[in-house]
Amino acid sequence: MSNYHVKNLEEYFQVYRKSVRDPETFWGEIAEENFLWRKPWDTVLEYNFEKPEITWYKGAKLNITENCIDRHLYARGEKTAIIFEPNDPKEKAEHISYNQLHDRVCRFANVLKENGIKKGDRVCIYLPMIPELAISLLACARIGAIHSVVFAGFSAKAISTRINDCDCKMVITSDGSFRGSKTIDLKGIVDDALESCDGIETVLVVKRIHSEITMVEGRDRWLQPLLDEASNMCQPEIMDAEDPLFILYTSGSTGQPKGMVHSTAGYMVYTAYTFKNVFQYREDDVYWCTADIGWITGHSYIVYGPLANGATTVLFEGVPAYPDWGRFWEVVEKHKVNQFYTAPTAIRALAKERLDFSEKHDLSSLKILGTVGEPINEEAWHWYNDTIGKKKCPIVDTWWQTETGGIMISPIPFSTPTIPTFATLPLPGIQPTLMDEVGEELSGNMVSGRLCIKFPWPSMARTIWGNHKRFKETYFSAYKDMYFTGDGALRNSTGYYRITGRVDDVIIVSGHNLGTAPIEDSINEHPAVSESAIVGFPHDVKGSALYGYVILKETGETRNHDNLRKEINQIITEHIGPIAKLDKIQFTSGLPKTRSGKIMRRILRKIAEKDASNLGDTSTLLNPEVVQEIMDNAL
């Protein structure tokens, strides 16, 4: 039995028990047997959740790119590392072998050095989903620079805030990006951002869309000529285990975005380990995660986790609806994708479309389907399972966060029996627990509470850049000696976890704790409903009452809306009970969403509370225009 690759349920339980009984031996063995170290560690783990201070593999030395690239060259040099699938299906896909990846990362790393970037410097990366994005992360890691990727859908304001927060010296961007039938002027956005960033010395520009842009003399440089001149050999910088690998910003419920800092060794070990197990990756598989590398999912499960395993990972530039809603399935067929990983918001959008978009493609290569980012509702789960997986592909509902670095709770496919909407069991090494509001641990099964993690795992964030106090307050102060996730969850009779949503999404109606997700699930079962979101609003008898925002499948739904309201409440009564009935139901054409597909409930809550005067920051919304519509029609 190997700790590294769990192949059946019995092994899972055995490995899990070992990981809890003796975490240091467990993570020590995994690290020793599966990675390349320049110097071994003195201790596997030292930690103190009070401070908090977490140290994995203290004293060890390594370079993560040696593990993701160099060590594969002997056995897999000609194997495809990255398949680049462009936005336009008529443009040829590019297969980048491990040898070529090595060459390109080394050249890029040398360009960074020649442009004054040293170990520990911060580099902001604002690029579309093109090979240079993955390569620039690796080039930074090659020389020990800390990358800070900003999703290339964020505004100039969001970029400058992030650049200034961690004092980046350089920006890597492109002239523009392709997005479906549109192009976006990325360089223009960067130029705007840099008006308020004094620390930026150099901007490296990738030519992607061949648009007319202005190059600022002495600051901006085209990347390609520099790469052509650079050497393709670059000795990796030998890093300490705990040296920061990257910063990635995540928005909190209040205030500035938090620059989560991830370390080198622990992050590498954990993302590699979880990639191998959650996707049961085998040597010749083709794996595709549709996330953007601008999010943690892309960092961990497009770049680092897959490459550390010598996998073939698809990097897709496009969007699900271009040229039509069949694009995902066309790409699956074309590259014979074996593992497919996406988000519930994409699944729901795809499920609304005609069946022939998926039916006309051969999806028989698929073995495993993954989901991440928010609770998946039952209807979407079944559509994914039946229509895409043909009931033959286990669905891995993976719960984790930017802060956790890697997947925490997830089935191990072909081992853990799945139940729709349950992320199921903790991965080896992860010790989740549920807490009540007064700080008591909820023992036993059939309980619901706040999800905490009792023990460190290798890829947990180490701090918030420049604000360790906030790190402590946000994650280690709610409950003593625990990492608090901010999520609510329930544990069923078999110990499976179901994530019910952020705890601020729990609404207490007449003293009953109601999670929004199960109510939304039942509403979505109504044949006329495509999506819904529930929030609470003050009620003088119940404390809080429920307000539902509902999107109908057909905008021209002709039935009387009051009848629809009754039917929706009838379904809720059947599924959950009359206590969960909605007092108000507003029909709407859309819901305010973040660019990663999460509903911004804060806005819906304010509108329901008739307190829409100050909606806070809506600049990160994908569809700010729906906010006005919702306000105009508020009940």
Contact call for residue 297 and ligand 7RM (CB under 6 A): yes
Contact call for residue 173 and ligand 7RM (CB under 6 A): no
d(CA 214, CA 125): 19
SS3 188: helix
**Tokens describing residue 173:** 């961007």
The H-assigned helical ranges of 115-167 are 131-143, 156-165
Contact call for residue 374 and ligand 7RM (CB under 6 A): yes
Q: Which is nearer to ligand 7RM, 112 or 372 (CB)?
A: 372
Q: How far is the CB of 502 from ligand 7RM (least distance, A)?
A: 5
Q: Exposed, middle or buried, 182 (CB in 10 Å: 0-12/13-18/19+)?
A: exposed
Contact call for residue 373 and ligand 7RM (CB under 6 A): yes
Q: How far is the CB of 378 from ligand 7RM (least distance, A)?
A: 13
Q: How far is the CB of 595 from ligand 7RM (least distance, A)?
A: 10
Contact call for residue 375 and ligand 7RM (CB under 6 A): yes
- Can you say whether the dihedral through the CA atoms of 197, 617, 532, 400 is positive or negative? positive
3-state helix/strand/coil string of 358-372: HHCCCCCCCCEEEEC
Q: Which is nearer to ligand 7RM, 174 or 431 (CB)?
A: 431
Q: Which is nearer to ligand 7RM, 230 or 343 (CB)?
A: 343
Classify residue 381 as left (phi > 0), alpha (psi -120 to 50) or beta: alpha
Contact call for residue 599 and ligand 7RM (CB under 6 A): no
Report helix, strand and coil shares of the chain as percent, to nearest 5.
35, 25, 45
Among 58, 79, 361, 502, binds ligand 7RM (CB under 6 A): 502
Among 68, 138, 200, 296, binds ligand 7RM (CB under 6 A): 296
Q: Give the C-alpha distances (Å, rounded to integers) separating 603 from 57, 531, 561, 630.
A: 43, 17, 24, 10
Contact call for residue 499 and ligand 7RM (CB under 6 A): yes
Q: Which is nearer to ligand 7RM, 317 or 397 (CB)?
A: 397
Residue whose token pair is 């006309």: 360
Across-strand partners of 529? Answer: 552
Q: Which stretch binds ligand 7RM (CB under 6 A): 183-191, 232-240, 369-377, 468-476?
A: 369-377
Could you tell me how many helices (H) and strands (E) the chain has, helices first?
21, 30
Q: How far is the CB of 404 from ligand 7RM (least distance, A)?
A: 8
Q: How far is the CB of 431 from ligand 7RM (least distance, A)?
A: 17
Map the footprint of ligand 7RM across residues 87-106, applying CB under 6 A: none
Q: Which is nearer to ligand 7RM, 97 or 418 (CB)?
A: 418
Q: How far is the CB of 401 from ligand 7RM (least distance, A)?
A: 4
Within 13 Å of residue 297, how many CA atoms lie on the same side as its CB? Answer: 20
Q: Which is nearer to ligand 7RM, 387 or 398 (CB)?
A: 398
Within 13 Å of residue 179, how many CA atoms lie on the same side as its CB? Answer: 11
Among 112, 140, 265, 372, binds ligand 7RM (CB under 6 A): 372
* DSSP assignment letter at 233: -
Is 73 within 8 Å of 47 (Cβ atoms)? no
Residue 52: is the preceding peptide bond cis (ω within 30°)? yes
Residues in contact with ligand 7RM, shown as a per-residue x/- string from 568 to 597 under the rule CB under 6 A:
----------------------------x-
Packing angle of the helix pair 625-632, 601-608 (nearest 10 deg): 20
Number of residues that bind ligand 7RM (CB under 6 A): 20
Q: Which is nearer to ligand 7RM, 415 or 485 (CB)?
A: 485
Among 27, 35, 357, 400, binds ligand 7RM (CB under 6 A): 400
Q: How far is CA 559 from the centre of its chain?
A: 39
Rounded (5°) CA angle 350-352-353: 70
Contact call for residue 399 and ligand 7RM (CB under 6 A): yes
Contact call for residue 430 and ligand 7RM (CB under 6 A): no
Binding stretches for ligand 7RM (CB under 6 A)? 250, 296-297, 372-375, 397-402, 423, 485-487, 499, 502, 596
